[in-house]
Chain A
């Protein structure tokens, strides 16, 4: 009856969202008077999950699962859920997880609620708070099925330490050929750059930057801050930046600690997509730009003067606080 979690890892290392999911699950398990069991895939340091409240790790070591495969991973999780008799399953909100979650939902005839931002409002009935209408609202959703699957919003609950000692058991799923009917042919992942999904800080540029040749300072600012770069919809539509950087309602959602918008006026669709970020800074030469109403800090001024100055100040700040 333990609470089951799927812990994501890349090249053997757990991702930050694995710890956040574990922290959330620990809270739910306490409410339900049970413990947390994690499923890990080819991870190296399984026992480290104990720091975040995981009592047991079902360790899957399988070469055929070295690359993420939604169907095969979902089948593995379904088998683990049955083995553990888990009634509550907690997942993250990454692209991979949102791929496997509906498959798992159908396999277990479960109720699935993604984009959950807080610990359950109650566990009987089981009610969770989630974002809806592309972050323009919240819904309190009751899950009435026997098995409940919760997708925790990125960076919403936070990582919390709850030291327990985690036992590690090998788990060997039985996977037939059908589990691999959708095949990964090639993974093209940018290395050495922070992704928007994982970033604590995101630096984003809009039309106010006038052209793709002016992105150097955006990238430099991101570099200084250890941030990911992003852009507004018009910028990606005009081909100044790749689609993968487009954030907003029809692009990627952003839920970073700090979001810096440069030359972005703040269309309602853009604001919706970035509203989960905790602190928003706007740099724009138009004091009437709608983004100022949604921001925490703002500078009215020419980005081509303000941003280089900001980079300098941040470098000084880093030198002093190194």
Chain B
């Protein structure tokens, strides 16, 4: 089985978000970039398929040279080979078209992407990719088993979960649940050394449409101070929620 894990290079979850150039760009100053958490759960599941079922695992990202430390980390965790499509990820449709080219050329059985990236939160790349390639697709995937060419996936739905069956080739939008938080791996020294010797192939982008464009950004309005209610007077909170906030 040949697996491709799609990795998005995103600000660390603890990052403070600021904008620059007249609020038209995300300010990367002082920001640490990491593997998108939803992708990291998928990568870790892919490692399981590699170790238990002998799968080959490639990773791909669409981004400039500055994304290479993130993709190297995926190699250090255990991916066999990496691909970087040398283009700024302009929007979700653009990225999906770039990935479609990589998937076509690589003949993958399973493509694991994250449910969404935690920066632009578009949540569309895996679904568009699957549809462009006419591959099966399962979103918000929290469990995945592969038996030959058959997949059984569990998808999170509002208020529960759904078991889904589909044949390979398959694309999933994954999230926590594919593996547990405690299963995530920190690269060890041996992994980091080996990652240096693994192939990181840079490919040039194909011409692709970009139907959306962020014009400007804005930070949420500053919040007023919290109104504190004395712990000995809980009834006042009920009153405030009813009369002032009008939410009960």
| Chain A residues packing against B (C-beta within 8 Å) | 68, 70-71, 74, 94-96, 98-103, 105-107, 109-115, 127, 129, 131-145, 181-190, 193, 195-198, 200-201, 225, 233, 237, 243-244, 246, 249-251, 257-258, 267-269, 275, 278-279, 281-282, 292-302, 305-306, 309-310, 313-314, 316-317, 321
Question: Quick one: closest B residue to A146, CB to CB?
Answer: B211
Cβ–Cβ contact B124 & A243, under 8 A = no
Q: A94–B157 Cα gap in the complex (Å)?
A: 8
- B206 partner residues in chain A, CB cutoff 8 A: none
Number of A-B contacts (CB under 8 A): 274
Interface of B is mostly: mixed
Q: A235–B206 Cα gap in the complex (Å)?
A: 44
Known A-B contacts A195-B159, A279-B241, A310-B238; the reply to A127 vs B128 at CB < 8 A is no
Nearest chain B CB to A138's CB is how many angstroms away? 4
Q: Report which residue of B11, B91, B96, B226 has the largest number of chain A beta carbons within 10 angstroms of its beta carbon.
A: B226
Q: A183–B167 Cα gap in the complex (Å)?
A: 10
Q: A197–B214 Cα gap in the complex (Å)?
A: 27
Which 8 pairs of residues, A with B, have the shortest CB-CB distance?
A: A102-B127, A301-B231, A111-B211, A195-B159, A106-B131, A145-B211, A189-B160, A102-B124
Q: A99–B214 Cα gap in the complex (Å)?
A: 23
* Binary CB contact string for chain B from 80 to 96 against chain A (1 if under 8 A, 0 otherwise): 00000000000111001
- B219 partner residues in chain A, CB cutoff 8 A: 136-138
- Cross-chain contact of A140 among B123, B218, B242 (Cβ < 8 A): B218
Interface of A is mostly: mixed
Q: A233–B219 Cα gap in the complex (Å)?
A: 24
- Cross-chain contact of A317 among B93, B180, B231, B238 (Cβ < 8 A): B238
Cβ–Cβ contact A201 & B248, under 8 A = yes
Cβ–Cβ contact A302 & B231, under 8 A = yes
Nearest chain B CB to A107's CB is how many angstroms away? 6
- A243 partner residues in chain B, CB cutoff 8 A: 142, 156, 176-177
Cβ–Cβ contact B241 & A281, under 8 A = yes
- Cross-chain contact of B241 among A105, A141, A184, A258 (Cβ < 8 A): A258
- B79-129 interface (Cβ within 8 A of A): 91-93, 96, 118-128
Nearest chain A CB to B112's CB is how many angstroms away? 16
Sample (12) of A-B pairs whose CB atoms are under 8 Å apart: A101-B127, A105-B93, A111-B93, A114-B122, A133-B118, A138-B217, A183-B164, A250-B176, A268-B13, A298-B229, A309-B234, A314-B248
- A225 partner residues in chain B, CB cutoff 8 A: 248
Cβ–Cβ contact A188 & B247, under 8 A = no
17 new A-B contacts at CB < 8 Å, known A114-B121, A133-B119: A96-B158, A102-B131, A112-B212, A113-B122, A132-B214, A134-B119, A138-B217, A145-B209, A182-B138, A196-B158, A198-B158, A243-B176, A250-B13, A279-B247, A296-B245, A299-B229, A317-B238
- B211-228 interface (Cβ within 8 A of A): 211-220, 223-224, 226-228
| Chain B residues packing against A (C-beta within 8 Å) | 11, 13-14, 16-17, 19, 26, 37-38, 91-93, 96, 118-128, 130-132, 136-140, 142, 152, 155-167, 175-177, 180-182, 209, 211-220, 223-224, 226-231, 234-235, 237-238, 240-242, 245, 247-248
Cβ–Cβ contact B220 & A138, under 8 A = yes
Q: A7–B209 Cα gap in the complex (Å)?
A: 29
Cβ–Cβ contact B130 & A137, under 8 A = no
Cβ–Cβ contact A144 & B213, under 8 A = yes
Question: Quick one: closest B residue to A248, CB to CB?
Answer: B13
- B165 partner residues in chain A, CB cutoff 8 A: 182-183, 185
- B137 partner residues in chain A, CB cutoff 8 A: 70-71, 103, 182
Q: A198–B158 Cα gap in the complex (Å)?
A: 8
Cβ–Cβ contact B127 & A103, under 8 A = yes
Nearest chain B CB to A181's CB is how many angstroms away? 6
- A103 partner residues in chain B, CB cutoff 8 A: 127-128, 130-131, 137
- B240 partner residues in chain A, CB cutoff 8 A: 297
Cβ–Cβ contact B242 & A134, under 8 A = no
- B140 partner residues in chain A, CB cutoff 8 A: 95, 98-99
- B11 partner residues in chain A, CB cutoff 8 A: 133
- B118 partner residues in chain A, CB cutoff 8 A: 133-134, 249-250
Cβ–Cβ contact B234 & A187, under 8 A = no
Q: Report which residue of B120, B182, B217, B247 has the largest number of chain A beta carbons within 10 angstroms of its beta carbon.
A: B247
- B14 partner residues in chain A, CB cutoff 8 A: 267-269
Question: Quick one: closest A residue to B167, CB to CB?
Answer: A181
Q: A74–B134 Cα gap in the complex (Å)?
A: 13
Known A-B contacts A106-B128, A250-B13, A297-B227; the reply to A141 vs B245 at CB < 8 A is no
Nearest chain B CB to A265's CB is how many angstroms away? 14
Cβ–Cβ contact B131 & A187, under 8 A = no
Question: Quick one: closest A residue to B162, CB to CB?
Answer: A187
Nearest chain A CB to B215's CB is how many angstroms away? 5
Nearest chain A CB to B32's CB is how many angstroms away? 13
- Cross-chain contact of B161 among A107, A244, A292 (Cβ < 8 A): A244
